[in-house]
Amino acid sequence: GAVVSQHPSWVICKSGTSVKIECRSLDFQATTMFWYRQFPKQSLMLMATSNEGSKATYEQGVEKDKFLINHASLTLSTLTVTSAHPEDSSFYICSAEKIGRAIHEQYFGPGTRLTVT
Amino acid sequence: AQKITQTQPGMFVQEKEAVTLDCTYDTSDPSYGLFWYKQPSSGEMIFLIYQGSYDQQNATEGRYSLNFQKARKSANLVISASQLGDSAMYFCAMEGASKIIFGSGTRLSIRP
């Protein structure tokens, strides 16, 4: 199968601090990973596309200086929420695209629930 | 611009009945793909079914089938013989421009 993990699964932090979320493809390599944000009872909104070895592509309205993305290897992408505020509290989900496959073969991580107090 | 629309925010269905979840889309791309995902309360996104725009036959995966009507730009999900474990949020999604966009979702509740 194709498994994607996220760490941590949930995190509570104080306003003004930074939080790093990891997304790992455990049994396959992924040149492209995607980061989504989901507010309660809402849909997934794409935040950015993360490509290994290059800068991430951010969706309109997403602050790249606030949501830092690093795709350091073919199996790891990280999202850092800098100077987090309560409005950043959300469910963050990553997905990974398997190399050599069409885009529809994306595999989702279990998500990270961030609560900023 | 691409758009996915799910007009049913919530549905209640009796166990063992079939249910159809509606999805319409809009795109100017000649080639695209359509998905359905299930999201239980745990939050994980579970892939259910995929339909390519050039696929001649409707996709089926076990109890799931996708009623693809290209001229109407609709891609409804049909779940046959619903089970209590089918209670979840269901998202229709479309791939295009190297990314996937999601509809607003339908919360399906199965009554015993």
Q: Which helix (H) or strand (E) holds B4?
A: strand B3-5
Cβ distance B102 to A43 less than 8 Å, yes or no, reads yes
Q: How many residues would you count in chain A?
A: 117
Per-residue pLDDT of B28-69, as tens digits, reads 988 899 999 999 999 999 999 999 999 889 999 999 999 999
Cβ distance B45 to A95 less than 8 Å, yes or no, reads yes
Tokens, residue B105: 């979702």
* Percent above pLDDT 90 for chain A: 76
Residue B87: name the closest of B43, B49, B39 by CA: B39
Per-residue pLDDT of B68-104, as tens digits, reads 999 999 999 999 999 999 999 999 999 877 788 999 9
**How far apart are the C-alpha atoms of B62 and A75, rounded to whole Å?**
31
Per-residue pLDDT of A52-92, as tens digits, reads 888 899 999 999 999 999 998 999 999 999 999 999 999 99
What's the pLDDT at A35? 97
Residues of B with Cβ-Cβ distance to A113 under 8 angstroms: 43
For residue A100, name the pLDDT band (cuts at 50, 70, 90): low
Beta strands in A3-110 (DSSP E): 4-7, 10-13, 19-25, 32-38, 44-51, 57-58, 67-73, 76-81, 90-97, 106-108
What's the pLDDT at A2? 83
For residue A111, name the pLDDT band (cuts at 50, 70, 90): very high
- Quick one: average pLDDT of A9-31? 95
Residue B7 falls in which region: left (phi positive, over 0), alpha (psi -120 to 50) or beta = alpha
CA angle, residues B46, A12, A60, in degrees to nearest 5: 60
Q: Residue A44: which of B33, B47, B102 has the nearest Cβ? A: B102
